[in-house]
Structure 1
Amino acid sequence: MEFRTERLLIRPFKSTDLQDVFNIYKNDYTCRYLLHDKWTHENMKGNFNKKLENSALTKETMLSLAAVHGTRVIGDLSVWYTDMKDTVEIGYSFSNEASGRGYATEAVSNLVKKLFVEFGVHRIQASLDARNNPSQKLCERIGMRKEAHFIQDYWNKDEWTDSIVYGMLRSDFNLRN
């Protein structure tokens, strides 16, 4: 899957993207609400190679996409099917340098459109750490609704955390567009 938005190219990762992706994941701030710790020079190649392998969305494989502005990768989008029929989950991370410019909203909203229109999914969901306010706001900006708030249901990075689930149906998307 490859497509353009107003300012971005969304495409599968290439081997030349390693340093840009490392720049996204090398700090604690970006990774504080993710399931993994920040990347190090020792583990970056292994972590990045997994993204390279995820080049097609199937029932068995995750899709990892680069959000490219100019010549630099500024974001990472992920999509995978859940165990529920025609339902996918999305995840996203963007570089601190790209923050506050609307790139994440642009990339994720266009990804959602592709998933509904071209892949025919019924439902898109996003599960996130309840403390991740910027991610909650992004979900709401693109039309997702907060469907659940679970209290201390997830053990991550040596602590219990609350999680929130946002969701959107194809029928919700059709009403908005």
Structure 2
Amino acid sequence: MKFKTERLTIRPYQSEDMHDVFHIYNDEDTCRYLLHDKWTYEDMQDKFNEKLKNNKLTKDTPLSLAVVNDNKVIGDLSVWYTGMKDTVEIGYSFTGEISGKGYATEAVSGLVRKLFNEWDVHRIQANLDARNKASQKLCERIGMRKEAHFIQDFWNKGEWTDSIIYGMLLSDLH
């Protein structure tokens, strides 16, 4: 899957993207609400190889996509099937340097449109750490609806955290 938005190219990863992606995931603030710790120099190659390998969405394998602006990877998009018929979950991370410029909204909005229009997906969902207000706002900006708030349902990084589930159907696109 490769596509363009007004300012971005969204495509599978290439080997030369490793250091840009490391820059995203080597940041404590970016990884604060994610399931994994920040990347280190020691595990960078292994973690990046997973992203390179995930270059095609199938029922069994997730898809990892680079969000590119001016030949620099500024974000990471992930899509995987949930096990429910025609339902995918999305995840995303962006470098803090682009915050407030609309790139994340543009990239994720482009992704959901592509999934609905070309992949014949019935439902898209996102499962967030409830403390991640920026991610909640992004989901709402692209037309997702908050469907559930679970209290202390997830043990992550040594603490119980709340989860929020956002979802959308094709009819929710605006």
| TM-score of the aligned structures, taking structure 1 as reference length | 0.97
CA deviations 1:35-65 (Å, max 9, x no partner) are: 0000000001000000000000110110000
Q: Secondary structure at the match of 2:119?
A: coil
Instruction: Letter of the 1:7 partner, please give it.
Output: R
1:27 maps to what in 2? Answer: 27
CA deviations 1:58-85 (Å, max 9, x no partner) are: 1011000000001100000000000100
1:8 maps to what in 2? Answer: 8
2:57 maps to what in 1? Answer: 57
Matched, 1:124 2:121: no
Instruction: Letter of the 1:43 partner, please give it.
Output: D
Q: List structure 1 segments (4+ residues) > 2 angstroms apart after TM superposition.
A: none
1:36 maps to what in 2? Answer: 36
Instruction: Measure the CA separation in 2 of the matches of 1:77 and 1:132.
Output: 17
Q: CA deviation at 1:172?
A: 2.0
Instruction: Measure the CA separation in 2 of the matches of 1:115 and 1:44.
Output: 29
* CA-based RMSD: 0.5
Structure 1: any 5+ residue segments left out of the alignment? none
Instruction: Letter of the 1:92 partner, please give it.
Output: Y
Instruction: Measure the CA separation in 2 of the matches of 1:172 and 1:143.
Output: 6
1:157 maps to what in 2? Answer: 157
Instruction: Measure the CA separation in 1 of the matches of 2:172 and 2:4.
Output: 23
Q: Secondary structure at the match of 1:57?
A: coil
Q: CA deviation at 1:170?
A: 1.8
Q: CA deviation at 1:111?
A: 0.2
1:148 maps to what in 2? Answer: 148
Instruction: Letter of the 2:98 partner, please give it.
Output: A
1:85 maps to what in 2? Answer: 85
Sequence identity (%): 72
| TM-score of the aligned structures, taking structure 2 as reference length | 0.99
Instruction: Measure the CA separation in 1 of the matches of 2:110 and 2:172.
Output: 15
Q: CA deviation at 1:87?
A: 0.2
1:168 maps to what in 2? Answer: 168
Q: CA deviation at 1:152?
A: 0.1
Q: CA deviation at 1:125?
A: 0.1
1:17 maps to what in 2? Answer: 17
CA deviations 1:63-120 (Å, max 9, x no partner) are: 0000000110000000000010000000000001111110000000000000000000
Question: For this pair of structures, how many residues does the alignment match?
Answer: 174
Structure 2: any 5+ residue segments left out of the alignment? none
